[in-house]
Structure 1
């Protein structure tokens, strides 16, 4: 009898774990890791050299985006998605999508993080440089 109760308890616990685990969430990038960050959703290979615009964009990203999207746009578990991910490749989310997201926010549609609010204090020029940084990270990780 105790054996049957133990098996029943395991089945219930397993069912609860299954039902409460995230589903339909795209997997993180599998690029080689060079910036291991606890809680990151993607492993991001950092290019050896960034263009001048991307360097400016990195500083702006670190100041306005990294708190949510993580170091080097690797995302953060339970906070925000990685931008170094095939979902954000230029053919799917063009540069204007980044501009609109920063200016007006965006409703959640690929990930289960909730809606992104507008980013106060960031200009179109700032976002242009941030995009340069993101695109260079993406190219270094095989996302074109």
Structure 2
């Protein structure tokens, strides 16, 4: 193999490695999801949407697509098998130490009842299902 061919193979492997890392290690570059599909919402999901817009949208963005201040919730990281609905309750009540993203820690959210957080979770889960996250 010529040195030119070896250089090409090394470059190709470096690109593949970079893309693999980006696919499995979320970071701020993954903060927004383009064109989140918003499905027809149940009554509980509509209530959850209103609560989300009052309490969560500043960081998690419109339709939970993320912002520069916080991660998207319409993302495989927050799929139900990885973060249960109870994780939403705990995040709101206690805050979250940064562990998936580099946005920093999430502070607790004051003034939301467990029932209200449940409705926010219903809204987020509806968005996730509509966008292929189950």
TM-score by length of 2: 0.77
Map of 1:75 onto structure 2: 66
Map of 2:129 onto structure 1: 139
State how far apart, in whole Å, the 1-side matches of 2:75 and 2:37 are. Answer: 12
Q: Which runs of 5+ in 2 are unaligned?
A: 1-24
Between the two proteins, the alignment pairs up a number of residues equal to 109
Deviation sequence 1:25-48 (CA, Å, 0-9, x none): 3564xxxxxxxxxxx61121111x
Match of 2:46 among 50, 55, 63: 55
Higher helix content, 1 or 2: 2
Structure possessing the higher relative contact order (Cα contacts under 8 Å, 6 or more residues apart): 2
Match of 1:122 among 106, 112, 115: 112
C-alpha RMSD of matched pairs (Å): 1.6
TM-score by length of 1: 0.72
Map of 1:45 onto structure 2: 37
Map of 1:64 onto structure 2: 55
Deviation sequence 1:6-57 (CA, Å, 0-9, x none): xxxxxxxxxxxxxxxxxx43564xxxxxxxxxxx61121111x101100000
Q: Which runs of 5+ in 1 are unaligned?
A: 1-23, 29-39
